């Protein structure tokens, strides 16, 4: 069974890594359904949520207190 591994970033984005199963390697065939597996929790934002160091504005998502009003 082909497996889609996901990495979860602190910005809540997920990045997928698709791993084809051995018997289908070298073909363009994949299994259905694809198994989804959690690979790891990244300790940082994903690439698209990170800003360059010369960007004047940075944004940081602060963790919301549990009792914050919606």
Residues forming contacts to Zn ion in the complex (CB under 5 A) are: 1-2, 11, 13, 21, 31, 46, 49
- Vertex 49 angle, CA 44 and 53, to 5°: 85
Q: Which of 45, 33, 47 is nearest to 1 (CA)?
A: 33
- Give the shortest CB-4-to-Zn ion separation in angstroms: 11
Which residue, 53 or 69, has its beta carbon nearer to Zn ion?
53
Q: How far is the CB of 16 from Zn ion (least distance, A)?
A: 13
Q: 1 vs 16, which CB is nearer to Zn ion?
A: 1
């Amino acid at each position: 069974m082909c497996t889609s591994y996901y990495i979860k970033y602190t910005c809540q984005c997920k990045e997928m890594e698709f791993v084809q199963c051995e018997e289908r390697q070298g073909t363009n065939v994949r299994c259905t359904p694809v198994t989804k597996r959690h690979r790891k929790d990244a300790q940082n934002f994903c690439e698209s949520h990170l800003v360059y160091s010369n960007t004047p504005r940075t944004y940081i998502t602060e963790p919301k207190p549990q009792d914050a009003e919606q």
